Structure 1
Amino acid sequence: MIRLGICNELFEGWDFATVCRTVKALGYEGLEIAPFTLAPRITDVSAPRRRELSAIIEDAGLSTIGLHWLLAKTEGFYLTTPDATVRNRTADYLVELAEATRDLGGTLMVLGSPKQRDLLPGVSYDQAFDYAVDVLDRAMPKIGDLGVDLCVEPLAPSETDFLNTCDQANLMIDRVAHPNFKLHMDVKAQSGETNTTVPELLTKHAAKAGHFHTQDVNLRGPGMGDVDFGPIMKALVDSGYDRWASVEVFDYSPGAEETARLSIATLKSALDAASAR
């Protein structure tokens, strides 16, 4: 069964416990966390603080989904660099993020972070691909041992010039060949793929996807723009996908509570309609 969650950075500046209570009251089952909302680096969050946060989430009646925006607002990490020292440092940090995910009670991480994977000057796409695989080959055995899935996110060309389609992401997944390295899908990101639609992409790929993000292409929540979530959620259900669908928005201007309320109402309506057919 598809479970609905929401990403915590929408509630910027809110007390963490208040976020959890609000999210639960609105009907969400899970909370997904951006590390930069906790500390500049996840290693700055102590083990006691991680246990405290996990308890706050659990006490609110929620599940911790995991982490996303893994490398956002950090320095010194890069997925596609020719610098082996930086690649090794990046791999080690991904493992540290996975340790935090486990400590917080989560089971997955979303690897998007477009500005830490853009092609560097003089580096071809194929070279960048090999460098990224090197990072992941180093990190994935330890991430898998922690019981965490790392889900790689194809992003639109407007955000990055590396891994823009589900097919490209799946080539990397096949190359890394680790059972905990999976595809992440996203309405806004997959709307950037040409000659196809989000429902078509979900029909093709969602059954094997590890995670799914929902939002409108206008950067607001589901139901706050022109995207029709009926066909999207129907394709997701019909594909056999049975994991989390998290609301991730980038335009917070309508307000956190209103965004969260309208988003879950839209998704639940679409899921009910899809399940009734």
Structure 2
Amino acid sequence: MIRGENFALSNLCWPIDEDRAALRIISALGYRGLELAPFKVFGGWDGVTRAEIVSYARFAASEGLTVVALQGILFGANLGPIFSGPDARLALLKHAAQVARMAGEFGGLRCVFGAPGLRKRLGLSASEADRIAVPLFQDLGRIFDDYGSILVLEANPESYGCEYVTKTGEAVSLVAQVDHPGFQVHIDTGTICINEESGEALRSYASAAAHFHVSEPDLVPLSFANARHGQFGDILRSSAYAGWISVEMKQPESDWRSCLQRSAQVIEACYDV
């Protein structure tokens, strides 16, 4: 059983109609946090009320879990690439206000900005993209900060179809340029593994991170076959990182319950106190 109090798990891993059973299982395994993909829970973005949000938070709490982060925050929002023009960026800001309100009503959360499909550079150089992205993310940071939440930037590798901020160091650099408390770094171990980023690089980034995902490449179930988890756990424990460590896995084709059990075994062996 997981002993640490800062481990969470994403609801991507199970069918939504098994929500109560899944929450009961992960709580029994020792997870204390729940990361939500809101579209999966609420079925959309428009019209989600404060009462619905509070009700879900109480539902999670009844199983011993706290909602600690949101992911998939742009899924189902029908947005275009951020470098395609001002209209696309305005639409993103409008949608972000909905997400930030939701995060605020959950009590103030980390909200993961992934969405590799929206990060096509469309022929722009990296420096040209930065000149557009920095003021955009400053605006986004202000929106989330107003609701007591933080937008956390996840590097997405090129193999996921991303063309902007594909390595963790690039995320760290962009966050430094944006320089707003509402916009911080998110670290994902799947990205680190795909990019073959070094442990020393992670050591230098970990203390600056606001959120952390334990994942495998392509979000397959956690496995001891990935020998780097032990290294990642050692680095986190020796760093000043004090946030939630959240497991992210897509729903497996096989038994999702076994997937939850195995994830807890990896966390206990490699990341726990």
CA RMSD of the aligned region, Å? Answer: 2.0
Q: Pick the aligned partner of 2:62 from 59, 62, 66.
A: 59
In the other structure, the counterpart of 2:31 is 28
Change (3 A) 1:111 1:218: closer
**Cα distance, 1:58 vs structure 2:** 1.5
8 Å Cα contact 1:87-1:131 kept in structure 2: no
C-alpha deviations, 1:188-207, integer Å up to 9, x for none? 1111335x42x323211000
8 Å Cα contact 1:53-1:104 kept in structure 2: no
Change (3 A) 1:129 1:40: farther
**Cα distance, 1:112 vs structure 2:** 0.7
Aligned mates of 1:162, 1:58 — CA distance in 2:
37
Q: TM-score, normalised by structure 1?
A: 0.89
C-alpha deviations, 1:2-23, integer Å up to 9, x for none? 6111100111232433332222
**Cα distance, 1:258 vs structure 2:** 1.0
In the other structure, the counterpart of 1:102 is 104
C-alpha deviations, 1:103-125, integer Å up to 9, x for none? 223511010110111222x4333
Instruction: Report which stretch shifted further, 37-46 or 88-97.
Output: 37-46
Trace 1:199-210 onto structure 2 (pairs within 5 A): 199-210=199-210
In the other structure, the counterpart of 1:17 is 20
Task: Give the percent of matched residue pairs that are identical in Structure 1 and Structure 2.
Answer: 23
In the other structure, the counterpart of 1:70 is 73
**Cα distance, 1:170 vs structure 2:** 1.8
SS of the residue aligned with 1:268?
helix
8 Å Cα contact 2:108-2:148 kept in structure 1: no
SS of the residue aligned with 2:31?
coil
8 Å Cα contact 1:78-1:90 kept in structure 2: no
In the other structure, the counterpart of 1:161 is 163
In the other structure, the counterpart of 1:87 is 89
8 Å Cα contact 1:8-1:31 kept in structure 2: yes
C-alpha deviations, 1:137-177, integer Å up to 9, x for none? 22211211211111101111111111011221122111211
- What residue ranges of structure 1 are gaps of 5+ in the alignment? none
Aligned mates of 1:225, 1:218 — CA distance in 2:
15
In the other structure, the counterpart of 1:126 is 127
Aligned mates of 1:44, 1:128 — CA distance in 2:
33
SS of the residue aligned with 2:151?
strand
Change (3 A) 1:10 1:131: same
Trace 1:1-277 onto structure 2 (pairs within 5 A): 3-81=6-84, 83-120=85-122, 122-159=123-160, 160-194=162-196, 196-197=197-198, 199-217=199-217, 219-223=219-223, 225-250=225-250, 252-272=252-272, 275=273
Counting matched residue pairs gives 269
- What residue ranges of structure 2 are gaps of 5+ in the alignment? none
Which stretches of structure 1, 4 residues or longer, exceed 6 Å deviation after superposition?
none
Aligned mates of 2:255, 2:171 — CA distance in 1:
33
Aligned mates of 2:184, 2:22 — CA distance in 1:
29
Paired AA for residue 261 in structure 2 = R
Q: TM-score, normalised by structure 2?
A: 0.90
**Cα distance, 1:97 vs structure 2:** 0.5
**Cα distance, 1:223 vs structure 2:** 2.4
Paired AA for residue 246 in structure 1 = S
8 Å Cα contact 1:64-1:106 kept in structure 2: no
C-alpha deviations, 1:8-51, integer Å up to 9, x for none? 01112324333322221221111101122024532342222111
Change (3 A) 1:192 1:228: closer
**Cα distance, 1:224 vs structure 2:** 5.2
Change (3 A) 1:157 1:218: closer
C-alpha deviations, 1:76-109, integer Å up to 9, x for none? 343333x212201201211210111122235110
Aligned mates of 1:19, 1:45 — CA distance in 2:
23
Change (3 A) 1:109 1:230: same
Instruction: Report which stretch shifted further, 256-265 or 214-223.
Output: 214-223
